[in-house]
Structure 1
Amino acid sequence: MFVVQRIVSLGHGLPSVNIFQSLVHANNTFKLNTVYFGQVAINTTCSILSLLLANCAFAFLITDNSWKWIAAYSAAFSFRMSHYFVSYLSQATMVSAGYISNENSNQKSNAAKHVRFFGYIVILPWDVEFPRSLVHVVVAWNVPMHCFLKQYVFRILKPYGTFLAVFLTYVISSVLHGLNFQLWATLLTIGAWSYVEYNLRRKLAQIFSACVTANKCTVPCKRHKESKTAMFSAYSNLTAHSWLCFLPT
């Protein structure tokens, strides 16, 4: 997958995004200091904790007679923790090899805010566990992959229509993940649901003038009369978060 991404980025002749810029500038910024060892230790510790949670967290709490919704959440939680384990291990490997993220810690993105502590960002667990929308889950699940697909697939296809761009982006993502029909079906379903949710919440925001869009409104919001703390906005956002908690991805 990494080789394919690198070939595509070079073939377009465009500046590489995220992971590729890190590779180019790694030798110029690599230093053995307390920050380096601290970031390696933090990523390694988070990786081990994620592995323990994936295998042990609910093993002593869930029984065969447990409520089906608790069992469903347990399965989804275990799957996410397994992904966090791999992601944090990837971050630890990248940092230990001297590769750093090209995200500026002064930027406002969530990834940029975490660079100071982790050095390199693959996963944003908080945005996955407590997402505002499925769009946020997709972005936070694999930050380098998201940046690559957004730069070299979605933006190129968007002039032909948003739906087509979203659909083909998820198709290409499925191909990059390997020849697995179940995985393809899962990714395409997520793509369809994220597109539907994004447009549905955009329509609701227009109709009720409320802060219920898939992406957070600016503070204070000047586009909507109902702020995020209003009853309708709070209930809508909480409902969206509740059903997202049971997603395996």
Structure 2
Amino acid sequence: MDDLAAALEMSVSGLTRLAGRSVDQGLFHRVRSGRDAQGWNATLTDTGFARLEAAWPTNLASVRRHFLDHLARAAPSTRAAYPVRNVLLRLHGPVGRCGHAHAHISSTRTFVYTAAVILSVLLALVLLAAAAPKVQLKGDIPGGLVARELSAGLVRFIGVCELIAAVGLVAGIWWQPLGIAAATGVAVLLLGAIGHHLKWGDYRDSATRSAALSPVLFLCVAVAAAITLAASL
């Protein structure tokens, strides 16, 4: 009882009175301490544990309201709050339906965020590979674009946009709004590429169809990256 009183920051006499009322309500019973002949241990009864189990969702809601909500407002886009959140869910989640629901939501959000990271990194790598020759105006791709009535300055501008988008996607892993904006910008670039291929009839020509389908594929990746980043907020 002395240890419990110290943990609760109560006087021993005050805790003794509270314990007496709790014993009368059948919430726990007192047994002699095996270490101290004059000491008592408080042991929960089944009724007491059921009362504690019912109180846990309220306790978790209070922790969220007084701590996690303030942390989220202080750094709304950081992942720093998630380790604390997950620890609390592991402590409280197994007890009661409310805990199970929050644990399920956390697990789903973690899965979605993992998918967003994979898609963002994949798309960033593709953009870096595509941007390098355009910025330097070296290789077959920039030459082919210039031959199709695109100015060298426009080709280089597209390459710079791809580089910026790649950086935005990587940074968006930590700050999702930036990643969403970058993925949206990539989608616009890819729609322009699809329109370019349509203009030149690349989808009708079997020799150029495979290359022309690449923007369609990566458009799907960009849209998926934007959606998963938004869902992981």
TM-score (norm 1): 0.27
Structure number with larger C-alpha Rg:
2
Greater strand share, structure number: 2
Kindly indicate whether structure 1 or structure 2 has the higher relative contact order, using CA contacts under 8 Å at least 6 residues apart: 1
TM-score (norm 2): 0.29
